[in-house]
Amino acid sequence: MIGPYGARYSWAYWVVVLAAFALLVVDIFDDGALWNYLVIVLVAIAIVIQPGGIRGPRHAARAEEKQRRPV
């Protein structure tokens, strides 16, 4: 899938994001600290595996653009 800056997002990213939202829904019905910690861990994983990592998708899009241009 392509993000707003033209960077390609992996399926793993979307799976982690959906799992985090599912745990948030579980947390609404079962108020336990464990669910909150798991959501925090999943958000951290999503940030790491997104295109560009911590630098973000704009950095990844710029890097892809540089690779496409002939030198």
What is the CB-side half-sphere exposure of residue 36 using CA atoms within 13 A?
4
The type of residue at 68 is R
Flag whether pLDDT at 41 surpasses 90: yes
Would you list the domain boundaries of the chain?
1-8+28-71
This prediction's pTM = 0.64
Q: Is the pLDDT of residue 71 over 70?
A: no
* Torsion sign, CA atoms 6, 50, 28, 22: positive
Mean pLDDT of the chain: 79
Give pLDDT, residue 29: 87
